[in-house]
């Protein structure tokens, strides 16, 4: 599936089925100016905290952003029988950019964007439209977001897991 097909087949049916809970908006275009970047907001009536989640920065990591899509499908349709999913569904506002690297997810399924830049390495310099769009949206939630989660896939290689916490929101 292309980036648009993932949205069309997974996120859009959920948004249409739960319009009072899920909304979406355009956050910009990719570096080529061809592909639209979308953000979805999952907002329960009585939310207590906010998570900011991104996926698909490396579009070759398809099982990562498709797994993220499946997770959201399970969370949205939860029936109250799973305490963790129920808490997320009823008490956590989630701002999600399902696929950051929309060009590569639509064209080549590689690590880089159309200009050959690894977007995961561009957040310090923010030279690419994709990272500028993510930062623009994140700025709107910087005082509210308790955490930012960037969803990847490890491809069977051994990676050390590390955590880098910087408290920004008063509710962290």
pLDDT band for position 38 (cuts 50, 70, 90): very high
**Is residue 66 scored above 60 in pLDDT?**
yes
pLDDT of residue 166: 45
**Is residue 169 scored above 60 in pLDDT?**
no
Q: What mean pLDDT comes out for the span 126-138?
A: 96
Which of the pair, 119 or 154, is modelled with greater confidence? 119
**Is residue 162 scored above 50 in pLDDT?**
no
pLDDT of residue 154: 65
Across the chain, what does the average pLDDT equal? 89
DSSP assignment of the chain equals --HHHHIIIIIHHHHHH-TTTEEEEEEEE-TTS-SEEEEEEE--TT--EEEEEEE-SSTT-HHHHHHHHHHHHHHHT--S-SHHHHHHHHHEEEEEES-S-HHHHHTT--SS-TTS--GGG-TTT--SHHHHHHHHHHHHHTTTEEEEEEE---TT------------STT-
Q: What mean pLDDT comes out for the span 123-136?
A: 95
The pTM assigned to this predicted structure is 0.88
pLDDT band for position 157 (cuts 50, 70, 90): low
Question: pLDDT above 70 covers what percent of the chain?
Answer: 89
What are 77-107's pLDDT values in tens digits? 999 999 999 999 999 999 999 999 999 999 9
């Amino acid at each position: 599936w292309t980036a648009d097909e993932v949205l069309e087949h997974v996120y859009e049916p959920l948004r249409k089925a739960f319009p009072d809970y899920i909304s979406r908006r355009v956050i910009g275009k990719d570096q080529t100016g061809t592909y639209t970047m979308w953000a979805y907001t999952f907002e329960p009536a009585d939310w207590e905290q906010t998570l900011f989640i991104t996926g698909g920065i490396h579009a070759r990591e398809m099982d990562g952003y498709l797994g993220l899509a499946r997770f959201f499908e399970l969370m949205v349709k939860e029936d109250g029988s799973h305490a963790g999913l129920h808490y997320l569904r009823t008490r956590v506002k989630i701002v999600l950019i399902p696929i950051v690297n929309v060009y590569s997810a639509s064209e080549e399924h590689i690590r880089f964007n159309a200009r050959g830049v690894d977007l995961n390495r561009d957040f310090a310099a923010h030279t690419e439209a994709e990272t500028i769009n993510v930062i623009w949206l994140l700025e709107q939630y910087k005082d509210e977001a308790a955490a930012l989660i960037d969803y990847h896939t490890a491809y069977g290689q051994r990676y050390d897991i590390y955590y880098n916490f910087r408290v920004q929101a008063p509710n962290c």
